[in-house]
Amino acid sequence: MWCVEQRRETWAGPTRHPKVLLLADKRRSGSLSSDPFGVGTVLLYNRPGPSMLRAVPVSLPPAAELLRQRLGLSQTVAAWLARTGHADVGAVERFLNPRLKDLTRPDDMADRQVVARRLARAVRSGELVAVFGDYDCDGITSAAIMTEVLRTLGGRAVPLLASRFDGGYGVSAAAARRIRATGARVLVTCDCGSSDHETLRALTAQGLDVVVIDHHLVPDEPLPAIGFLNPHRQDCGFAYKGLASCGLALSIAAALRRELNVELDIRYWLDLVAVGTVADVAPLDGDNRALVRSGLERIVEARRPGMQALLEIAKITRDTPLTGRDVAFRIAPHINAPGRLGAADVALDLLMARDIETARGLAATLEQISDRRRGLSEEMFVEACAEIEQSGFECAPAIVIGREGWNPGIVGIVAGRLVDRFERPVIVVGFEGSTGRGSVRGPTGVRLHDALGEASELLVRFGGHQQAAGVELERHRLEAFRERFADAIARQRHTVAAAPASAEPVTLATGDDPLLVLADLARLEPCGFRNPRPRIAVEGRVTSVREVKNGHLKLEISLEDRRRLGCFAPRLGSLAPSLSGQVRVVGDLRHNNFGGFEAAELLVDEIVPSCSVRAEAPLQASAAEPQPL
């Protein structure tokens, strides 16, 4: 194997590393615009001849060599696994081949059996069940699972979704009125309800039996519900804590099937579990790894008309393996878009569509909404950057900005892009009159929820977790909150963890066929939070470079083994004059079947010229909320 000495910084407080200041200045001046997808493209054409990448030769570590021999892995992926702590051959084999039969036993999940009994009684007696979901991907997929399972088992269910613009997140007073209007006797909340004690207490007093399915932080006050499914409860003995609400909904489906003693293949709903889990940035380890791996297969099978229509508008085919990134950036954004701009119901209708004609019509509507959302987010991003630079906020430990009329459904996307640009925590608030709602995002390692807790008396309310959160505040408290939050972030500087080994790219090993490496990378899927996909580094000599239409960069690289790399870097055309001689390109190795010629493709996020001045493309979307193209 061959290795190149490399270094990659992570967030270490408000001061940006000098090596990235040049690019940051170019972005602010307008010569580089932000790329939400955060990637360029490099084609690796496989040609005969020995592989002789320009690099420093080192031997494959013993642990990596053992993995290579015993599991038939490429040197590149074996080295990656060993470096990131996957050294035991048996454990790695199980990791590469997750199985549903190895899922954690659910018997110790608190309230699971109580909920199954109550829903079984509702099915048998024909009671109407109201299924109320959040307006994001996890809430929508959870609501679809619960509604379809109940109906498939012969029950009666009516799905409802929260609205950002009519009551906001959770079971609000407005939502409670809609629930009561259905005449339901049972309420099941999906991905919400944990903090809605007042409205749930009122619904209970009016005769509804309430079940809460949620995976957010557990409240101190007990919920007025007959069942509260959340693995984070202190009294919950379920060992795996990473399930999103859609995964919990599937577990309830299995329990209900058993309680009714009927046949039901719940694997049908794994496609929705995969989408909801990835979109919610749940950890892709343990049970989630097995659930999402199986779910990716079912997404591609497209037995669900709505999923087939989504694949069509996302232009996803069966030619290459589906990845976690495909779900996060090409499927989930379409489902999330309606809830960002208005009612999310069209997304739920699409997932539950019974025929392909209906599904295609709904998918076309989603695509139009997605286009509108992209335009609005770009406008807000430009306005936010201008305000930050004019006010000097970019020098603060954290950025807090707000404006009248900013869409509260878009602020999370804008906050994520601002984190990528300014490399510090960001809060973006959309005000409507005297109050506003905002989203909180930050670099890896920042404890956002803790920082908000230190300023909680200045907020109407806040919620979320350490990676992402939401706030509601009054306009006249914005300045005081900005200072308090920035101080809290500044105190975290010395406690931020170092970058994990997985953040470092792995060099394409000498002798490794890129297409075989791709096959091994597919075995690492699903990749995402807590299971990042390896970034691959390759060196070569620039033979041609030019800026092309729309400010993109086209680059051709020659390697010493006579292979050629055709490169395309979106929105990095301004770098063309500075690129010559030896360069190292780093990014995500992917398939490219353009023109019927099978090749490996490197989606670039970093270019290092021979002068060692690093130029980075806009990084991938923040872990808190994947950003769509």
pLDDT of residue 560: 65
Domain 392-495: assigned CATH number:
3.10.310.30
pLDDT (average), residues 11-22: 33
pLDDT band at 607 (very low <50, low <70, confident <90, very high): confident
Confidence of residue 13 (pLDDT cuts 50, 70, 90): very low
CA quadruple 77, 78, 81, 83: dihedral sign: negative
* Residue 82 per-residue DSSP state: H
Q: What is the pLDDT confidence band of residue 603, given thresholds at 50, 70 and 90?
A: confident
Q: How confident is the model at residue 619 (pLDDT cuts 50, 70, 90)?
A: very low
Q: What are the angstrom distances between the C-alpha of 476 and each of 16, 255, 409, 472?
A: 31, 49, 22, 12
227-231, 394-398, 618-622, range with the lowest pLDDT: 618-622
Q: Which two tokens stand for residue 442?
A: 């930050």
The answer to whether 440 touches 471, Cβ cutoff 8 Å, is yes
**pLDDT at 6 exceeding the cut of 50:** no
Q: What percent of the chain has pLDDT over 90?
A: 66
Dihedral sign, Cα of residue 593, residue 597, residue 602, residue 608: negative
The mean per-residue pLDDT over the stretch 275-289 comes to: 96
* Range of lowest pLDDT (72-81, 347-356, 530-539): 530-539
CATH architecture, range 102-365: Alpha-Beta Complex (3.90)
Question: 377 pLDDT exceeds 90?
Answer: yes
Fold of 11-51+500-616: OB fold (Dihydrolipoamide Acetyltransferase, E2P) (2.40.50)
For residues 594-611, give the mean pLDDT: 76
Please check whether residue 626 is in contact with residue 281, taking contact to mean a CB–CB distance below 8 angstroms. yes
Binning pLDDT at 50, 70 and 90, where does residue 605 land?
confident
Q: For residue 341, give the nearest of 379, 305, 370 by alpha carbon.
A: 370
Q: How confident is the model at residue 273 (pLDDT cuts 50, 70, 90)?
A: very high
Q: Give pLDDT, residue 535.
A: 93
CA angle, 557 then 561 then 564, to 5°: 30
Query: Which pLDDT belongs to residue 4?
Result: 32
Query: What ranges do the domains of the chain cover?
Result: 11-51+500-616, 102-365, 392-495
Averaged confidence pLDDT in the chain = 85
Has residue 179 got a pLDDT over 90?
yes
What are the tens digits of pLDDT across the range 36-69? 223 333 333 333 333 333 333 447 899 999 999 9
Can you give the three-state secondary structure of 381-432, one letter per residue? Answer: HHHHHHHHHHHCHHHCCCEEEEEECCCCCCHHHHHHHHHHHHCCCEEEEEEE
- Token pair, residue 209, equals 């039996």
Name the pairing type of β-strands 128-133 and 156-161: parallel
Q: Distance between CA atoms of 577 and 141, rounded to whole angstroms?
A: 48
Tokens of 552: 């993109």
pLDDT over threshold 80, residue 615: no
Confidence grade of residue 559 (pLDDT, cut at 50, 70, 90): low
Is pLDDT at 570 greater than 50 in this prediction?
Answer: yes
Q: What is the DSSP string of 509-534?
A: PTT--HHHHHHHHHHH-S-BTTBPPP
Grade residue 608 by pLDDT with cuts at 50, 70 and 90.
confident
Kindly state the average pLDDT of the residues 354-380: 97
pLDDT in tens, 379-426: 999 999 999 999 999 999 999 999 999 999 999 999 999 998 999 999
pLDDT reading at 170 higher than 70: yes
- This prediction has a pTM of 0.85
Per-residue pLDDT at 24 exceeds 60: no
- pLDDT per position as a tens digit, 475-529: 999 999 999 999 999 998 755 555 677 778 998 887 788 889 999 999 999 999 9
Least confident stretch, 229-233, 280-284, 382-386, 591-595 = 591-595
User: What does the pLDDT average to over 541-548?
Assistant: 88
> pLDDT per residue over 81-126, tens digit each?
999 999 899 999 999 999 999 999 999 999 999 999 999 999 999 9
- Please state the separation of Cα 610 from the chain's center in Å: 34
Q: Which two tokens stand for residue 107?
A: 């018997």
- Residues near 91 by beta carbon (within 8 Å), at least 6 away in sequence: none
What gap in Å lies between CA 400 and CA 428, rounded to an integer?
6
Percent of the chain with pLDDT strictly greater than 70: 86
Report the C-alpha dihedral over residues 584, 69, 501, 528, rounded to 10 degrees: 90
